[in-house]
Amino acid sequence: MHDGSDASDDATVRARPPLNPCCNPRRVARTPMDAAMRADWLIEPPRKKETAMDAIQLLKKDHSTVRGLLDELVATTPRGLKKRTDLISRIARELKAHTTIEEEIFYPAFKAAGEKGNDSRMFFEAKEEHRAAGDLVLPDVLSTDPGSEKFSGRAKVLKEMIEHHAKEEETDMFPRAKQLLSKEELLALGDQMAVRKEQLLAANGRTP
* CB contact set of 149 (below 8 Å; sequence gap of 6+): 78
pLDDT, greater one: 36 or 199: 199
pLDDT band of residue 76 (cuts 50, 70, 90) is very high
**CB contact burial 10-48 (16+ within 10 A = b; e otherwise):** eeeeeeeeeeeeeeeeeeeeeeeeeeeebeeeeeeeeee
pLDDT of residue 24: 45
Q: What is the pLDDT of residues 25-56, one digit of tens each?
A: 444 444 443 443 343 433 444 434 446 899 99
Closest listed residue to residue 155, CA positions, set 144, 166, 170? 144
How far is the C-alpha of 121 from the C-alpha of 20, rounded, in Å?
73
- Contact, 193 vs 58, CB < 8 A? yes
In this structure, of 41-45, 73-77, 113-117, 122-126, the range with the lowest mean pLDDT score is 41-45
pLDDT of residue 204: 80
Stretch 155-166: mean pLDDT, rounded? Answer: 97
Q: What is the pTM of this model?
A: 0.73
Residues of the chain with pLDDT > 70: what percent? 74
Domain ranges in the chain? Answer: 5-42, 55-203
Closest listed residue to residue 169, CA positions, set 64, 15, 19? 64
